[in-house]
Amino acid sequence: MSHGHWGKMLRVNLTEGSIKVEELSDEWLRMYVGGWGFIGYYLLKEVPAGIDPLSPENLLIYATGPVTAQPLAGGGRHMIGGKSPLTGGFAGSEAGGFFGAELKRAGWDMIIFEGAAPSPVYLYINEDHVELLPAEDLWGLETADAEQKIREAHGDRFVRVSQIGAAGENQARIANVIHDSNRAAGRTGMGALMGSKKLRAVAVRGTQRPPTADEQKISELGRWFRDNYKETGSGVFSTLGTNRMVRVNNEAGGLPTRNFQEGVFEGYDKIDAETLLDTITIKRDTCFGCPVRCKWVVQVEDEEYPVDPKYGGPEYETTASMGCLLGIDDLRVIAYANQLCNAYGLDTIGAGMTIAWAMECFEKGLISSDDTGGLELTFGNGDALIAMIKQIAHREGFGDLLAEGSKRAALAIGNDAIDYTVQIKGQDLAMHDPRVKYGHGLGIAVSPTGADHMHSAHDSAYQTEGGIADLRSVGVVKPLPWDDLSADKAAMMRQVMMRRVIYNLTGVCMFHAWTPQQETDMVAAATGWDTSVMELWLAAERAYDMARAFNAREGFGADDDLLPKRLFEPLSEGAVAGKVYTREQFIAARDAFYGMMGWDENGAPTRAKLENLGLGWVADLLESDD
C-alpha cells in the first residue's frame, strides 16, 4: 500500500451491474499521481478512438489525488473525467466541497464507470460496502431533493452525493455534476456523460483517515496555513470571495458583457461582491478542511424568484455569466438562475454563454421569436434567461438546441452564427477576457479541455517580482506585463499552467497560496515519497501530454487551438479600448508554446517528449492509430 493513496479503485460495469476492486501499484501511483493523470491514463488505455462520447463505450472516471482528504486547506478536491460530449476530446472537471474527501475517506482513490445501465441507478459506497441501487425514484428530481432522499434512504445525513440533475438526465451537453447541491464539476459536459450511463448519483460515506507518511508535517502545514493565509493570495478570497473579480475585471476593461461584445458593464456595481454581500448573502460556506471560507450562501424571499440557501450562491463565474454577460444587473435574477442551474445540474458558464450567443443572434436577426417559441431573447431580459435555463435542462423547445452548446447550435443555425460564438473546441469561455490578459488566451487555446478557466492561468497575476517570487522555483524567470504575447510569455504560461496541473493532480484547490515547495512538502508528507517540485512538475507535463495525445488521436490539430474571431477584435470602451493582439502574434506565441512543450506543429506531443516522460506507450498508441 502506498501512503497518500489507498492503492485501490472501483471498477463499476453499469451494463452488467458488476463491481470490481482493482489495485493501483505504488509505481503507477507515483507516475500518474492523481486527478488528470489517472483519467488520462485510463482514457488512452481503454477508450477506443472515435467513439461517441455518449455511447456506453465511454468511461466516466472519478479520481482523487494524494492530498485529497488530508486535513489541509484546499485538500478536498476530486476530478471527474471521460471523453467530452461537448468537445469530443479529453474531459476533466474538478469540484470542491466534501465529496472528494469523503470518497477517499471511504477507502477509494478512484472509480471507473463503464458501460451504461439499462435503467437509472446510483452507486452507494459505505467504506467497503459498495452497491448499485435503483434510481428510478430519483430520476427527474431536483438535486437537493434527490440528495435528501438518498440520505434518508440510508438513514445517514452525512452521506455525500455527487449527482446529475435534469440537464444530465437529458444529456444536455452543457450539463454538469453537482455535489452537496451546490458544488459543480462544471465544464466539459460531464453531466451528459453521466446521464448517458443512466447513473444518477454516487453517494459516499467514509470515515477513515487516508494512510499518511508524516502526520506531523501535515499538521505543521495545516497550522502554517491557518496562521498565515490572510497575508497570502488566499486572503482576498476570504474577504471578498470570487465575486471580487466583477469589480477587478470591470476596471481592467475585460468584464464579459453582452457576449464579450463589451468589457465594461454599466451595471457592474449592482452585481459586485460588495453589493452581493450587503444584500442577499446570509452566510459563508467552505470546503473540506478549509479556513478560507470563500463561498457565499444567498437567500431571496421573493415570490417570482425565491432562492433557497441550500443551493449555495453565485460565484464570480455565475454572477458574470448570468449577469453582465447577458446585460442583466439584477442579483435576484442571477441568484435564481444559479439555483436553477444547481437544481438541474447545468453548467452556469456554458448555459450563460450559450444563451448570450443566442441573444446576440436574436438581436442581429439570425434567430427570431418564431425560433424561440415567442421568447424575446434580448440582452437584459431576465425572464427569458430563466425560461431558457428550464428549457435547456429539459431539452424543451428552443432549449433543445441550446442544450447542444453554442458551437453545435451555431452550426445548426448557419449563416455567420458561428462568428458570434466565443468558444474553443466547442467549450465556451469562462468569464475571463484574454484581451485583458494575453497569456490567458494562449492558455485556454491550448487547453485540451477547450476554453476552460481551470486549465489555463492568469498572466496578469505575474506582472511583478512579488507575483512571480514563488514561481522562480518552477522556472518562471521574470515578471511580464499582461499585454505581452512574446515567446517569453509563452514560456511563463507553460510553467504556470503546469503548476496548475500540479494542483489538480494532487487534489488541492488552486485558490490556496501554497508555494510550490509547500505543495511538494504536502505530497511528500502524505505519500512518503522523497519527491520534489520537479518530479511533480514532470507528472503535470505527463498528464497534460496524455490529454493532448488523446485529442490528437481524436483528430484535433493546430486549428483547434485558436481563439474565436471575437477575441481578435478590440473592445471599444474601457481600459483596453482599441487594443488587442493580432492573429499573427497569437499564432506565433502558440507555436512557440508548442515547441516549448515538445509538441509537433499540429500540437501533438512528439515521441521524444513522450518517451522522456516514460510515456513511450502513448507514442506507440498514436502511431498505431495513424
Written as nine digits, the cell of 302 is: 421573493
Q: Which stretch binds a second copy (CB under 8 A): 4-12, 61-69, 167-175, 613-621?
A: 613-621
Task: Give the H/E segment covering residue 126.
Answer: strand 121-126
CA atoms of 83 and 438, how far apart (whole Å): 29
Using an 8 Å Cβ cutoff, are 344 and 328 in contact?
A: no
Q: Which is it for strands 199-205 and 121-126: parallel, antiparallel or unpaired?
A: parallel
- Binding window for a second copy (CB under 8 A); candidates: 128-136, 192-200, 404-412, 595-603: 595-603
Name which position in 279, 534, 573, 579 contacts a second copy (CB under 8 A): 534
Of 488, 498, 487, 486, nearest to 478 by C-alpha is 488
Contact by Cβ (8 Å): 30, 529: yes
Nearer to a second copy, 190 or 485 (CB): 485
CB-based contact 332:298 (threshold 8 Å): no
Burial (0-12, 13-18, 19+ Cβ within 10 Å), 282: exposed
Min dist. Cβ of residue 75 to a second copy (A):
21
* Residue closer to a second copy, measured from CB, 145 or 611: 611
User: Shortest Cβ distance from residue 527 to a second copy (Å)?
Assistant: 11
Give the range of 137-145, 294-302, 384-392, 592-600 binding a second copy by CB under 8 A.
592-600
Which lies closer to a second copy via its Cβ, residue 451 or residue 613? Answer: 613
Binding test (CB under 8 A) with a second copy, winner from 420, 438, 529, 550? 529
Residue 612 is a binding residue for a second copy (CB under 8 A): yes
* Site map (CB under 8 A) of a second copy, residues 106-135, x = contact: ------------------------------
Residue from 299, 532, 585, 602 touching a second copy (CB under 8 A): that is: 532
Give 193: exposed, middle or buried? Use CB within 10 Å, 0-12, 13-18, 19+.
Answer: buried
Which grid coordinates are listed for 19? 463491481
Query: Are the C-beta atoms of residues 158 and 45 closer than 8 Å to each other?
Result: no
Minimum distance, C-beta of residue 237 to a second copy, in the bound complex (Å): 23
Q: Which residues fall within 8 angstroms of residue 422, CB to CB, at 6 or more apart?
A: 259, 260, 353, 357, 406, 428, 429, 451, 564, 566, 567
At residue 62, φ and ψ (nearest 5 deg) are -105, 130
**Residue 9 or residue 492: which is nearer to a second copy going by CB?**
492
Q: Which of 425, 435, 494, 566 binds a second copy (CB under 8 A)?
A: 494
Contacts of range 19-26, beta carbons closer than 8 Å, 24 or more positions apart: 19/130, 19/131, 19/132, 24/109, 24/110, 26/2
DSSP structural state of residue 545: H
- Nearer to a second copy (CB atom), residue 272 or residue 541: 541
Segment 421-480, which members bind a second copy (CB under 8 A)? 469-470, 472-475, 477-478
* Candidate segments 36-44, 204-212, 429-437, 602-610, binder of a second copy by CB under 8 A: 602-610
Among the listed residues 192, 512, 594, 604, the single contact to a second copy using CB under 8 A = 594
* C-beta closer to a second copy: residue 235 or 475: 475
Q: Minimal distance in Å, beta carbon 475 to a second copy?
A: 5
- The CA distance from 552 to 619, in Å, is 11
**Which residues touch 248 (CB under 8 Å, ≥6 apart)?**
none
Question: Among 145, 285, 363, 488, which residue sits at the site for a second copy (rule: CB under 8 A)?
Answer: 488
Cβ atoms within 10 Å of 477's Cβ, excluding its own: 12
Q: Which is nearer to a second copy, 286 or 531 (CB)?
A: 531
The strand pair at 295-298 and 281-285 is best described as antiparallel
Minimum separation from the CB atom of position 620 to a second copy (A): 11
Interface with a second copy includes 602 (CB under 8 A)?
no
> In terms of CB distance, is 13 or 531 closer to a second copy?
531
Q: Which is nearer to a second copy, 566 or 609 (CB)?
A: 609
Give the x-and-dash track for 542-581 against a second copy (CB under 8 A): ----------------------------------------
Which segment (163-171, 455-463, 506-514, 609-617) binds a second copy by CB under 8 A? 609-617
CA triplet 322, 445, 498: central angle to 5 degrees? Answer: 100
Residue partners of 470: CB distance under 8 A and separation at least 6: 515, 516
Among the candidate windows 173-181, 325-333, 387-395, 515-523, which touches a second copy by CB under 8 A? 515-523
**Least CB distance to a second copy at residue 586 (A):** 16
Confirm or reject binding of residue 585 to a second copy (CB under 8 A).
Answer: no
Stretch that binds a second copy, among 117-125, 187-195, 549-557, 588-596 (CB under 8 A): 588-596
| Interface characters, 11-30, with a second copy (x: CB under 8 A) | ----------------x--x
Q: Are the CB atoms for 472 and 512 separated by under 8 Å?
A: no
Residue 213 within binding range of a second copy, rule CB under 8 A: no
Residue 556 CB neighbours (<10 A): 21
In the chain, the amino acid numbered 345 is G
Binding site for a second copy (CB under 8 A): 27, 30-31, 469-470, 472-475, 477-478, 487-488, 490-491, 494, 515-517, 520, 529-535, 537-538, 592, 594-596, 598, 606-609, 611-614, 616
